[in-house]
Amino acid sequence: MKHSVAIGLVATVGALLSFQSHATSLYQAVVSSTPKAGEYGSIKDALQNAPEDKSTYSIYIKPGLYNEQIIIDRDNVHFIGAGRDRTIIAKAIAAGMKGDNGKNIGTSGSRVVEINGKDFTAQSLTIRNDFDYLTNDSKAKDDPSKIKQTQAVALLLGKKSDRSAFYDVSLEGFQDTFYSKGGRSYFNNSRISGTVDFIFGNGLVIFDNSDIVARYRPNQELPLGYLTAPSTNEEQAFGLVFINSRLIKEDNRVPAASYALGRPWHPTTTFQDGRYADPFAMGSTTFINTEMDDHIYGWDKMHGKDINGESIWFTPEDGARFSEYKSYGSGASKEGYRPQLSDNDATKFTIENMLDGWQPIFLAAQNTTVKGIVSAHLMNFPAQITLSDQYGRKASTTTDKHGAYQLKIKDFIPPFVVSAAEQNTDCLSNNTLRGICMAALYAPTKPQLEQNINININPFSDLILSDTATASGYLGPQQVMSSPKLPLIFSAEEYASSIARFHQGFDNSLHDLGLPKHFDPVQYQPQWQPAFAQLTQWLWSNRNYQTKVGEVADSTLMDRFFQPLLVPDLQGKVAAFDLSAIQKRQQQVDTVPHRVFIIGDSTASNYPQAVAPRMGWGQTFQENFDTQKVQVINGAQSGRSSRSYYNQGWFRYLSSMMHSGDYLLIQFGHNDEKCDASSARRGPYDVANTCTYPNNADGQIQAPAGQESLSFQRSLEFFIDYAKSHQITPVLLTPVTRMKTMKGKNEFTVVSTHFTTQNSTKGFAFTGNYSQTIKDTAQANNIALLDIEIRSIELANTLGEENWKDYWLAVDPIKFPYYKDRAGRLDKPDITHFQEKGAKAVAKLIAKEIRQTPKLKTLSDSTID
Active-site residue list: 176, 197
What is the spatial order of strands in the sheet that 437-442 belongs to? 394-398, 383-388, 416-422, 437-442
Please count the residues of the chain.
Answer: 865
Going by C-alpha positions, the residue among 111, 112, 96, 107 that lies closest to residue 146 is 96
Any bridge partners for residue 187, and if so which? Answer: 166, 207
8 Å CB contact between 200 and 228: yes
Give whole-number Cα distances, 570 to 3, 496, 503, 549, 753, in Å. 7, 16, 16, 22, 31
8 Å CB contact between 27 and 20: no
8 Å CB contact between 648 and 542: yes
Going by C-alpha positions, the residue among 170, 357, 205, 215 that lies closest to residue 283 is 205
Residue 631 zone, left/alpha/beta (φ > 0; ψ -120 to 50; rest) = beta
Question: CA–CA separation, 359 vs 572, rounded Å?
Answer: 38
**For 716-732, b where at least 16 C-beta lie within 10 A, e where not — what string?**
bbebbebbbeeebbbbb
Question: In a 10 Å sphere around its CB, with 0-12 CB exposed, 13-18 middle and 19+ buried, how is residue 35 labelled?
Answer: middle
Question: CA–CA separation, 737 vs 744, rounded Å?
Answer: 19
- The CA dihedral of 87, 89, 92, 96, to the nearest 10 degrees, is -150
Checking DSSP bridges between strand 383-388 and strand 394-398, what pairing results, if any? Answer: antiparallel
Question: Could you count the other beta carbons within 10 Å of the beta carbon of residue 497?
Answer: 27
8 Å CB contact between 163 and 142: no
Q: Which strand (E) or helix (H) includes residue 799? A: helix 788-803
Please report the DSSP string for 325-384 in residue order.
ES-BSTT---SSS--B--HHHHTT--HHHHHTT---GGG--SSEEEEEEB--TT--SSEE
- The CA dihedral of 473, 479, 483, 489, to the nearest 10 degrees, is 40
DSSP state of 107: H
Question: CA–CA separation, 785 vs 778, rounded Å?
Answer: 6
Going by C-alpha positions, the residue among 518, 564, 560 that lies closest to residue 535 is 560
8 Å CB contact between 811 and 614: no
Tell me how far apart the terminal alpha carbons of the chain are, to the nearest angstrom: 48
Single-letter amino acid code for the residue at 682: R
Question: CA–CA separation, 357 vs 162, rounded Å?
Answer: 13
Question: CA–CA separation, 467 vs 496, rounded Å?
Answer: 10
Question: In a 10 Å sphere around its CB, with 0-12 CB exposed, 13-18 middle and 19+ buried, how is residue 798 labelled?
Answer: exposed
The helix/strand/coil state of 665 is: strand
Residue 427 zone, left/alpha/beta (φ > 0; ψ -120 to 50; rest) = alpha
The helix/strand/coil state of 666 is: strand
8 Å CB contact between 9 and 500: yes
Any bridge partners for residue 191, and if so which? Answer: 170, 211
Question: CA–CA separation, 298 vs 335, rounded Å?
Answer: 9
Question: CA–CA separation, 598 vs 170, rounded Å?
Answer: 58
